[in-house]
Structure 1
């Protein structure tokens, strides 16, 4: 009985995960409902992306280049972030997609749609 309950809870958490898509359907971003203080994103069939988390004044809080062989799956914990508004910016090739993140005491929310999509010049 406990096993069935645990499995049902795992399925429920998986089904209630919020997902959005951008960059021609290859880019997905979601808030994990289990904790609420983590964000994850997946990029299908892309091997390299530049990721930045900025504050509301667009000061960079965190940045890294992420890689994967057949795609990218990355999770960030927002546990240490003070309450406020942040932005997740992901650059793949010359396409930049920005999503808004709001962190509260109870958890975090992520905008369902990107708030900005833009092509950027490459050097």
Structure 2
């Protein structure tokens, strides 16, 4: 029993050290099978998901209160494999990967990733698209017009730029609905605007 308590304490200290400078942390609880996820500065309406390596959502929860989020998860019940927590916020998505093997959960702080979402804004007939791509990730942009089904008007891929900014002028004579599809970091984002 002393060894279990001692090992749990070592795991807590290890995870606390790993996540000391992040806005999230993970630690084991008194119940050795639970992992405590702590997220700071979350906003009501953010979404937390647990996904498998194929991107299938296994768990999803809307954050109910702004501030700190603390919850225990029994991740040892998952089959052996790779998984990740995903915190979906207004402007970014943070992924925190972990693996399960023989009922043991392992987190690797170095594999955490923050993806900044593309921002789409319409002002009169101008569509502004911007994205922060710190690692110069590519951004695919497709603009569609709804004419009894969405028809592709424009498509381009932007690469090698950290601060991506594009402006598209929509034809003022084509009043109606437009669909803006952006793809980056293996994710697809869809925005609808009307002119």
The TM-score, its normalising length taken from structure 2, stands at 0.48
Cα offset, 1:27, TM superposition: 1.7
Root-mean-square deviation (CA, aligned residues, Å) is 3.2
1:103-122 to 2 correspondence within 5 Å?
Answer: 103-121=100-118
Query: What CA deviation, in whole Å up to 9, does each residue of 1:63-110 have, x standing for no partner?
Result: 111222532112221132111111111122221111111101141011
Instruction: Give me the whole-angstrom Cα distance separating, in 2, the residues matched to 1:112 and 1:53.
Output: 16
Instruction: Give me the whole-angstrom Cα distance separating, in 2, the residues matched to 1:100 and 1:61.
Output: 14
1:1-123 to 2 correspondence within 5 Å?
Answer: 12-13=9-10, 16-19=13-16, 20-21=18-19, 27-32=23-28, 37-48=33-44, 49-121=46-118, 123=191
**How many residue pairs are counted as aligned between the two chains?**
115
The TM-score, its normalising length taken from structure 1, stands at 0.70
Q: Indicate how the Cα distance of structure 1 residues 103 and 69 shifts in structure 2: closer, same or farther if over 3 A, else same.
A: same
The answer for unaligned runs of 5 or more in structure 2 is: 120-190
1:17–1:33: 8 Å Cα contact kept in structure 2?
Answer: no
Cα offset, 1:13, TM superposition: 4.9
Cα offset, 1:16, TM superposition: 1.9
Instruction: Give me the whole-angstrom Cα distance separating, in 2, the residues matched to 1:70 and 1:94.
Output: 17
> Relative CO higher for 1 or 2, CA cutoff 8 Å, sep ≥ 6?
1
